A and B are shown apart, each in its own frame.
Chain A
Amino acid sequence: MKFPRIRAIAKKELIQIRRDPLSLAMAFLMPVMLLFIFGYAITLDVNNLKTVVCDLDKSMLSRELAAQFGKSDYFTIIDRVHSYGEIDGYLDRGEALVAISIPRDFSENIKRGRPAELQVIVDGSDSNTATIALGYISAVTGLFSEKIAVRQSPPLIETRVRVWFNEELESRNYIIPGLIAVIMSVIAALLTSLTVAREWERGTMEQLISTPVKTQEFILGKLMPYFLIGFIDMLISVLLAVFLFDVPMKGSLFLLAGLSSLFLFGGLSLGMLISIVAKSQLVASQIAMVATFLPAFLLSGFMYAIPNMPKPLQVITYAIPARYFVSILKDIFLKGNALHMLLFETSLLGLFALVVFAIANKKFKKRIE
């Protein structure tokens, strides 16, 4: 392997990229656009849940409980009804997602020290929101019962909850690092997906493969300029995460840069492999999109927790590099983990990169089929 040859290819590729301002702009705007679209669209925080209250008790305590819900940012009381039957209509029409029904004997039970029941109905058609809503409801009622318990007798157990790693429980804090991993998976593969196919389509490959250039020299030389672009994209994403989305950055930037490079190497090699096999720019870019976006989005643990997936699907996630990068980014951003805590992810990311690079080398033939 000769370095001057790798450099010659990298240089030529860089000149070609520079002469194509549209693709260059795309390469740098893509992470910004995707981060904006997904960063603002996917937010798992649930606010202003439309709530209807049916207070049959009409006591001071029941009004206090209803007010407790109304005061929190999570619930917005849109109406009060006076019979149980009226609740159905609100939920059926989708006007309310939550209905709180306070039974007639509510205050009576509390005064007598008996367990007081509260009926809550939640629209489960969006199960994610419903689960979060239920969490809020028990938080509000818990707070309420604590308050009245203090009034009545000294509390037996006082619970103090502290959340680690994401104290404000901002969903954005863990969504954005994961999102960067997903976006970079797509960008890395897309960047290189055209580069080999373009040479076949334009006929320049025929001249190139008639020279003594070696396959590794060709692939490494082609990877270099895209690595540079990918690294800049990564930098843009991290800057946006920290300064626009206010995600705390607790870990080492050097570690982040190092592991991102490892991830990029694998991602870019995957795009290269696709480009080598597809031989057509259109087909290659589409394969690159499908092969990275869906797995990175759905199977990386970014959207759905991997332990909750069916076993066969869990096995598949091991082959998806975004899986490791999602957890690496979350850990570096939120926990400030050092390399020795990320050894598993790092080694599998490295393994993926090496395997894909080796396959790309094997698949590239200096011959016309």
Chain B
Amino acid sequence: MNENNIAVKVEGLTRTFGDFTAVERISFSVSRGEIYGFLGPNGAGKSTTIKMLCGLLLPTGGNGTVGGFDIVKESEKIKKTIGYMSQKFSLYDDLSVEENITFFSGMYGVTGKNKKERKEWVLEMSGLKDKRAVITKTLPGGIKQRLALGCALLHEPPVIFLDEPTSGVDPVSRRNFWSLIYEMAKGGTTVFVTTHYMDEAEHCDRLALIYRGKIIAEGTPTELKVQYMSRYVLEIETDRTFEALEVLNRSGFETALFGSLLHAVVDDTKTAVPEIEKELEKADIKVIRIDKIMPSLEDVFVTLIESA
């Protein structure tokens, strides 16, 4: 990877709070224009990492750069080149939509003709053109998040950090939010995003799976599914789904209901498929089909955590 093409790079980044290690020696790099996802459960160290990258929190070990600036020594320079949207809504609740936008353009030093243009852009992208005088407190969660994103993008930063931008947002708003992120990335903006939604992680160009402060896997969503999945997922269709689930679980197969189908995780397909067929036949259940399928990220994650 060309050095000039790197937006974020960290090595051995560590943060402890007393005895607790929130982030433990993580290393990764993000190229310009990439959507880089940090996927992990709550408390895995995602927010801690993002805060260190934004220059809000000092690391206790390791080093890193954002936009070429050192995260420890040049944090104020970093703040000029990034947009940050925190997990918790952090605009001013008692200010109107427009007042919030005006305030943050002041903070980011957006002035003159540009100031007006950018304000209209934020109002447009958040769908608040005719609600500019509304007090922010009264807006629904999804709209608030879009406004927060808009305010973080007022100065058109080349790198943006989004900490769980869609937590607590309804599915339609979530999809809209992601189309915005795509648009940003298409325009050359580097997007660093954390999430605990598996389906959202699929949207990222590259992913790091983070668990208990450590990166346990990294790669594109497809790479992760292919490389890290040591076991296979079989999709089974039968004429009596519930009975089949009972039969397979009783005979020791790790089986779960998946809509009207069953998913069984097996070590070896060659031996497992005939065995499953035999067990179901014994119970007089008709097997319609058994297919080997691509595991979901959730399958990958669960498998990795079990082996971690």
Q: Is the C-beta of A4 less than 8 angstroms from some C-beta in chain B?
A: yes
Question: In the complex, A150→B151 CA distance in Å?
Answer: 90
Given A367-B56, A367-B57, CB of A212 within 8 Å of CB of B80: yes
Whether the Cβ atoms of A209 and B56 lie closer than 8 Å is yes
Given A207-B91, A212-B76, CB of A368 within 8 Å of CB of B106: no
- B20 → chain A closest CB, angstroms: 15
Inside 8 A of B148's CB, which chain A residues have their CB?
Answer: 207
Specify which of B75, B80, B86, B94 is in contact with A19 (CB 8 Å cutoff): B94
Interface size class of B (residues with CB under 8 A): 20 to 34
Question: In the complex, A251→B250 CA distance in Å?
Answer: 98
Specify which of B56, B89, B106, B109 is in contact with A210 (CB 8 Å cutoff): B56
Whether the Cβ atoms of A15 and B109 lie closer than 8 Å is no
Given A203-B88, A368-B51, CB of A211 within 8 Å of CB of B108: yes
B32-64 vs A: 1/0 string, CB under 8 Å? 000000000000000000010011111000000
Inside 8 A of A4's CB, which chain B residues have their CB?
Answer: 106, 109, 111
Question: In the complex, A212→B76 CA distance in Å?
Answer: 6
Question: In the complex, A209→B99 CA distance in Å?
Answer: 18
A210-249 vs B: 1/0 string, CB under 8 Å? 1111000000000000000000000000000000000000
Question: In the complex, A203→B152 CA distance in Å?
Answer: 15
Inside 8 A of A208's CB, which chain B residues have their CB?
Answer: 107
Q: Is the C-beta of A12 less than 8 angstroms from some C-beta in chain B?
A: yes
Given A8-B106, A366-B76, CB of A15 within 8 Å of CB of B86: no
Given A366-B76, A367-B55, CB of A212 within 8 Å of CB of B108: yes
Whether the Cβ atoms of A207 and B51 lie closer than 8 Å is no
Inside 8 A of B91's CB, which chain A residues have their CB?
Answer: 204, 207
- B296 → chain A closest CB, angstroms: 33
B84-96 vs A: 1/0 string, CB under 8 Å? 1010111111110
Q: Is the C-beta of A167 less than 8 angstroms from some C-beta in chain B?
A: no
Whether the Cβ atoms of B79 and A16 lie closer than 8 Å is no
Task: Give B243-301 interface residues, CB cut-off 8 Å to A.
Answer: none
- A212 → chain B closest CB, angstroms: 4
Inside 8 A of B75's CB, which chain A residues have their CB?
Answer: 366-367
Inside 8 A of B92's CB, which chain A residues have their CB?
Answer: 12, 16, 204
Inside 8 A of A206's CB, which chain B residues have their CB?
Answer: 56, 86, 88, 90
Whether the Cβ atoms of A213 and B107 lie closer than 8 Å is yes
Whether the Cβ atoms of A207 and B84 lie closer than 8 Å is yes
The chain A residue with its CB closest to the CB of B88 is: A203
Question: In the complex, A202→B91 CA distance in Å?
Answer: 9
The chain A residue with its CB closest to the CB of B96 is: A15
Given A5-B109, A8-B102, A210-B82, CB of A16 within 8 Å of CB of B51: no
Inside 8 A of B102's CB, which chain A residues have their CB?
Answer: 8, 11
The chain B residue with its CB closest to the CB of A10 is: B106
Question: In the complex, A312→B6 CA distance in Å?
Answer: 62
- B90 → chain A closest CB, angstroms: 4
Question: In the complex, A12→B105 CA distance in Å?
Answer: 12
With a 10 A CB-CB cut-off, give which of A16, A202, A212 has the most chain B CB atoms: A212
Inside 8 A of A213's CB, which chain B residues have their CB?
Answer: 107
Task: Give B199-220 interface residues, CB cut-off 8 Å to A.
Answer: none
Specify which of A16, A20, A211 is in contact with B107 (CB 8 Å cutoff): A211
- A200 → chain B closest CB, angstroms: 11
The chain A residue with its CB closest to the CB of B105 is: A8
Question: In the complex, A204→B103 CA distance in Å?
Answer: 12
- B142 → chain A closest CB, angstroms: 18
- B171 → chain A closest CB, angstroms: 25
Question: In the complex, A228→B95 CA distance in Å?
Answer: 21
Inside 8 A of B108's CB, which chain A residues have their CB?
Answer: 211-212
Given A8-B102, A8-B107, A368-B57, CB of A210 within 8 Å of CB of B79: yes
Whether the Cβ atoms of B56 and A12 lie closer than 8 Å is no
Whether the Cβ atoms of A212 and B79 lie closer than 8 Å is yes
The chain A residue with its CB closest to the CB of B92 is: A204
Q: Is the C-beta of A9 less than 8 angstroms from some C-beta in chain B?
A: yes
Inside 8 A of B94's CB, which chain A residues have their CB?
Answer: 15-16, 19-20
Given A8-B106, A213-B107, CB of A202 within 8 Å of CB of B57: no
Given A12-B99, A20-B94, A367-B55, CB of A203 within 8 Å of CB of B86: yes
Specify which of B80, B88, B106 is in contact with A5 (CB 8 Å cutoff): B106
Q: Is the C-beta of A2 less than 8 angstroms from some C-beta in chain B?
A: yes
Q: Is the C-beta of B104 less than 8 angstroms from some C-beta in chain A?
A: yes
Question: In the complex, A85→B117 CA distance in Å?
Answer: 95
Question: In the complex, A78→B114 CA distance in Å?
Answer: 84
- B214 → chain A closest CB, angstroms: 22
Inside 8 A of B95's CB, which chain A residues have their CB?
Answer: 12, 15-16
Interface residues of B (CB under 8 A from A): 51, 54-58, 75-76, 79-80, 82, 84, 86, 88-95, 99, 102-109, 111, 148, 151-152
| CB<8 Å pairs between A and B, sample of 17 | A4-B109, A12-B92, A15-B95, A20-B94, A203-B88, A203-B89, A204-B90, A207-B90, A207-B152, A208-B107, A209-B56, A211-B104, A212-B79, A212-B109, A213-B107, A366-B76, A368-B57
Q: Which are the 9 A-B pairs with shortest beta-carbon distances?
A: A8-B106, A207-B90, A211-B107, A210-B84, A212-B80, A12-B103, A212-B79, A203-B88, A206-B86
Interface residues of A (CB under 8 A from B): 2, 4-5, 7-9, 11-12, 15-16, 19-20, 202-213, 366-368
A4-B111, A8-B102 are known contacts; what are 12 more A-B pairs with Cβ within 8 Å?
Answer: A5-B107, A12-B95, A12-B99, A16-B94, A204-B90, A205-B90, A210-B54, A211-B79, A211-B107, A366-B56, A366-B76, A367-B56
